């Protein structure tokens, strides 16, 4: 059969689109070329096409909807059985993550239907040869804009079309009645090309959206981690930089969090100390700098501790991020001198806190400097995260090994 091309150029303000469109695209135009059979003057119920969205400058936005133009009739208090032209749009709404369905109604084939917010709006359909009537609420862009199936219910109708069912429609706006039909035609092929998958029932839509939200959260987390690492690596490019971030306060602008992100990305570059090496370090006195905010306290700040030869842990005092120091007695004279115990077991440094009988198991990593080490936690999944950097101190509460960058 002879084919001809029907060009559509419609204001997007009259086309219901996904709310994910940016503000600048609200007045974009929808342009498409839909081949239709010349046996119908206007409207070919069997032909669906992709409708490209362009902005005010005529530039493609990269988005599209699926559309068809069909003929029908309408009746109201002034006329009966007059000509109607309907453009149906199917769009995958990335905000609600479902297919939606909307209609543009042209009375006498050239005059947009008029309705008001006070008018009742409903769509009744019959699917295929089944005589059951399904009813759907409608929303609209008064007074002359598109009407669309409310909520995610539009996907129910799209699903019927996708499965090869033709649909008869009666759309009521106030006292006006619009009758038309949608044929399945090639709609399944176009939906499959869209990449969002087949239309689903209500339960399937919930599962799809839940999966999408999880994937979105994972992607957001990945991008966040990439940004955090990029920021960290502006400060830290080596283990010396790691130490300097805390000792020399080079990471103050990042709230001393760069060490956590740097280690997370480079954990395999930090050697784990053996049990023999741990035994050569402990007992000792050390100052720690908080690297992981999850343990509480302030990153970059920390306490002065002594793990003595009798296996006791003693908090001697606390340092601020500005290196200011207060003794335990100055902070709270009622704090006990001994607040726990420590031991080395299975290659880990284990600390038991008297209060609550909590046990902390640390993997100790080398920073390739005598007197400078990294205490880490290992999660149930085997992921190792930095917790605190420790610096060995002498009895005068000074670093046992002074740090100078190479």
How many angstroms from the chain centroid is the CA of residue 377?
Answer: 28
Neighbouring C-beta atoms of residue 375, cutoff 10 Å:
21
Tokens of 202: 């209500």
Q: DSSP of 324-393, one letter per residue?
A: -EEEHHHH-TTS-SEEEEEEEETTEEEEEETGGGEEEEEEEEEEEETTEEEEEEE-TTS-EEEEEEEEEE
Q: How far apart are CA 384 and CA 122, in angstroms?
A: 58
Partner residues linked to 90 by β-bridges: 66, 101
Q: How far apart are CA 140 and CA 138, in angstroms?
A: 7
Q: Which helix (H) or strand (E) holds 171?
A: strand 167-173
In this prediction, residue 43 carries a pLDDT of 55
Over residues 118-161, the pLDDT tens digits come to 999 999 999 998 899 999 999 998 999 999 998 789 999 999 99
In this prediction, residue 33 carries a pLDDT of 34
Q: Which residues are CB-contacts of 398 (< 8 A; sequence separation ≥ 6)?
A: none
Q: Which residues of the chain have pLDDT under 70?
A: 1-46, 406
**Is the pTM above the cut of 0.85?**
no
State the DSSP code for 172: E
Over residues 317-365, the pLDDT tens digits come to 999 999 999 999 999 999 999 999 999 999 999 999 988 778 999 999 9
Over residues 263-285, the pLDDT tens digits come to 999 999 999 999 999 999 999 99
In this prediction, residue 146 carries a pLDDT of 94
């Amino acid at each position: 059969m002879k084919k001809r091309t029907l060009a559509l150029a419609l204001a997007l303000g009259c086309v219901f689109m996904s709310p994910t469109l940016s503000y600048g695209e609200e007045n974009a135009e929808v342009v498409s070329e839909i081949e239709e059979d010349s046996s119908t003057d206007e409207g070919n119920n069997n032909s669906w096409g992709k409708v490209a969205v362009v902005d005010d400058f005529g530039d493609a936005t990269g988005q599209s909807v699926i559309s068809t133009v069909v003929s029908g009739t309408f009746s109201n208090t002034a006329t009966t059985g007059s000509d109607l032209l309907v453009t149906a749009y199917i769009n995958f709404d990335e905000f609600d993550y479902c297919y939606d369905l909307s209609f543009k109604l042209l009375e006498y084939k050239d005059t947009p239907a008029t309705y008001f917010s006070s008018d009742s709006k409903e769509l009744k359909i019959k699917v295929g040869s089944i005589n059951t009537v399904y009813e759907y609420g409608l929303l609209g862009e008064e007074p002359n804009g598109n009407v669309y199936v409310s909520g995610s219910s539009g996907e129910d109708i799209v699903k019927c079309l996708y499965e090869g069912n033709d649909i008869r429609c009666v759309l009521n706006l106030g006292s006006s009645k619009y009758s038309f039909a949608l044929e399945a035609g090639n709609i399944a092929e176009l939906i499959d090309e869209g990449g969002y998958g087949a239309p689903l029932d209500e339960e399937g839509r919930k599962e799809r959206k839940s999966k999408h939200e999880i994937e979105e959260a994972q992607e957001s987390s990945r991008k966040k981690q990439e940004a955090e690492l990029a920021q960290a690596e502006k400060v830290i490019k080596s283990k010396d930089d790691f130490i300097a971030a805390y000792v020399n306060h080079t990471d103050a602008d990042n709230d001393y969090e760069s060490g956590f992100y740097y280690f997370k990305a480079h954990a395999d570059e930090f050697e784990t100390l053996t049990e023999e090496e741990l035994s050569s370090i402990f007992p000792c006195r050390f100052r720690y700098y908080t690297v992981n905010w999850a343990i509480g306290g302030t990153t970059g700040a920390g306490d002065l501790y002594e793990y003595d030869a009798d296996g006791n842990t003693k908090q001697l005092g606390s340092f601020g991020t500005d290196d200011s120091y207060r003794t335990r007695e100055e902070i709270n004279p009622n704090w006990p001198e001994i607040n726990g115990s420590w031991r080395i077991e299975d290659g880990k440094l284990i600390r038991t806190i008297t209060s609550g009988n909590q046990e902390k198991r640390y993997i100790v990593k080398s920073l390739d400097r005598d007197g400078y080490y990294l205490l880490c936690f290992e999660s149930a999944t085997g992921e190792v995260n930095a917790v605190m950097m420790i610096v060995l101190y002498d009895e005068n509460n000074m670093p046992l090994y002074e740090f100078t960058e190479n």
